Homo-oligomer: A and B are copies of this chain.
Amino acid sequence: MLTHSFKLVTIIAEPVLEPRITTELRRLGATGFTVVEGRGQGSRALHAAEIPGINVRIETIVPPEVADRIVEYISKQYFADYEVIAYLSDVQVVRGEKYRRAP
């Protein structure tokens, strides 16, 4: 089956940031996203209260250049003040046009 290579961007953040981040994903070129709720502990919690925090996991599949823009934006906007995580992985999709904004 013919597949196309795209990037899966995963952003883990506190729930209050969800509306802002998903709006920014759209603006930066994502055609959709999914959100799953979870909990977790980051490296800061190690030195703090050790109470697992509630978080949201926001995922979007985008072309590589959009993935770069998203990760750059997220890191500049949030990494200093929030415990936000963002990472990329490679995925193969069937219909590439679903994940590519019409020009």
B31, B34, B68, B86: the one contacting A38 at CB < 8 Å is B34
A45 within 8 A of B: yes
Q: Assembly of this chain: how many copies?
A: 3
Give a binary string over A46-57; 1 marks a CB under 8 Å from any B CB, 0 the rest: 100000100101
Given A8-B89, A40-B34, A91-B87, CB of A1 within 8 Å of CB of B68: yes
B10, B85, B94: the one contacting A75 at CB < 8 Å is B94
> Which residues from B are CB-within-8-Å of A22?
41
Asked if residues A89 and B90 are in contact (CB atoms below 8 Å), the reply is: yes
Interface residues of A in 31-87 (CB under 8 A from B): 31-43, 45-46, 52, 55, 57, 61, 68, 71-72, 75, 79, 85-87
A31 to B85, CA, bound (A): 12
B8, B31, B72, B91: the one contacting A46 at CB < 8 Å is B31
